[in-house]
Amino acid sequence: MDVKTIILGLLMNESMTGYELKKAFSISFTFFSGLSYGSIYPALKKMEKEGLISMTLEIQDGSPNRKVYTITDKGRDFFLSSLQEPATIEPKRDSFLMHLFFFAHLSQSERIQKVRLHLESVGKIRSALEAVGREVEEHADFYQLLCYRFGLRFCRDLERNVEDILRELEQNSYKSHSQLDPTE
């Protein structure tokens, strides 16, 4: 799903400001979409030109004016037709795995340091997901809740996998690339 489809999906239930879209996006999609919420505002402008959404400017006293976005009938049709398309598994580029593949070229201390740093990053993502759990539980529909729980399980599994790698590295002193025997 691209950023356009995600925005339309968020607007299916209610009109939202750019800020509200960013907040919903960061809670819902940053973990598994690979899209940044920095792409929201350019997408909103393009979608408005395409007639998929409309924008209403709300004038406020003492505060900045609010741009409120609403999905149009054309946008609703576009979104619903996109849900009919088969979901595909997109290859994930994981820089940690790319580094791990070449760990034989690093010292043991460098390997362990890189894995610990990655484990820390994964732990922060898991913590961030857990931190929004109450809000998700209170506001998400059934399917959004399933998605959140899937993401949380995925993150916990990833954390366990990285912990396993760290444990194996700490227990074994792996050979460098030049020491590897191709017959092993």
pLDDT at residue number 184: 41
**Are 31 and 129 in contact, with CB atoms under 8 Å apart?**
yes
pLDDT at residue number 33: 60
Order across the sheet with 66-71: list the strands.
Answer: 16-17, 66-71, 53-58
In angstroms, the CA 41 to CA 44 distance is: 5
pLDDT at residue number 137: 86
pLDDT at residue number 36: 64
Q: Kindly give, in sequence order, each residue whose CB lies less than 8 Å from that of residue 11, ignoring residues fewer than 6 positions away.
A: 21, 53, 69, 70, 71, 75
pLDDT at residue number 37: 61
pLDDT at residue number 70: 97
| pLDDT tens digits for range 49-101 | 999 999 999 998 888 899 999 999 999 999 999 999 998 877 777 889 999 99
pLDDT at residue number 25: 76
Low-confidence ranges of the chain (pLDDT < 50): 177-178, 180-184
Q: Which residues pair with 66 in a beta bridge?
A: 58
pLDDT at residue number 34: 56
User: Phi, psi at residue 175, to the nearest 5°?
Assistant: -75, 150
pLDDT at residue number 35: 58
In angstroms, the CA 85 to CA 83 distance is: 5
